[in-house]
Amino acid sequence: MNILVTNDDGIHAAGIRALAEAMKEIGTVTVVAPDRERSAVGHSLTLHSPLRVFELRKGWYAIDGTPTDCVNMGIHSLLPVAPDLVVSGINHGANLGDDVTYSGTVAAAMEANLMGIPAIAFSLATFQPSNNFTDAAQVAVQVARQVIAHSLPDDTFLNVNIPDFPLDRIKPPLITRQGKRSFIGTIVDKTDPRGRKYFWVGSEEPQHHDEQGTDFHAINRRHVSITPLHLDLTNHKTLPILAEWTF
Ligand code: MN
Distance 92 CA to ligand 1 centre (A): 6
pLDDT value of residue 185: 67
109 pLDDT above the threshold of 90: yes
Measured distance CA(53)–CA(146) in Å, rounded: 32
pLDDT value of residue 182: 82
Q: Which pTM does this prediction carry? A: 0.96
Distance 28 CA to ligand 1 centre (A): 24
The pLDDT tens digits of the residues spanning 157-207 come to: 999 999 999 999 999 999 999 999 887 767 889 999 999 999 998 767 778
Measured distance CA(48)–CA(240) in Å, rounded: 40
Query: Would you tell me the crossing angle of helices 14-23 and 133-150 to the nearest 10 degrees?
Result: 40
pLDDT value of residue 203: 65
Distance 237 CA to ligand 1 centre (A): 32
Distance 240 CA to ligand 1 centre (A): 38
Out of 87-101, 107-121, 181-195, 218-232, least confident range? 181-195
Which pLDDT band, with edges at 50, 70 and 90, does 15 fall under?
Answer: very high
The protein residues having their C-beta less than 5 angstroms from ligand 1 (an ion) are: 8-9, 39, 91
29 pLDDT above the threshold of 80: yes
Distance 9 CA to ligand 1 centre (A): 4
> How would you class 242 by CB atoms within 10 Å of its CB: exposed for 0-12, middle for 13-18, buried for 19 or more?
exposed
Measured distance CA(53)–CA(78) in Å, rounded: 9
Distance 41 CA to ligand 1 centre (A): 9
- Higher per-residue pLDDT: 202 or 5: 5
% pLDDT > 70, the chain? 99
Distance 230 CA to ligand 1 centre (A): 20
Measured distance CA(208)–CA(214) in Å, rounded: 10
Distance 89 CA to ligand 1 centre (A): 8
The CATH number of domain 2-183+210-243, selected from 1.20.1740.10, 3.40.1210.10, 3.20.20.70, 2.60.40.10: 3.40.1210.10
Distance 112 CA to ligand 1 centre (A): 18
Q: Tell me which DSSP letter residue 177 carries.
A: B
93: Cβ contacts below 8 Å, ≥ 6 apart: 39, 123, 124, 125, 126, 127
Measured distance CA(98)–CA(78) in Å, rounded: 32
- How high is the mean pLDDT of the chain? 96
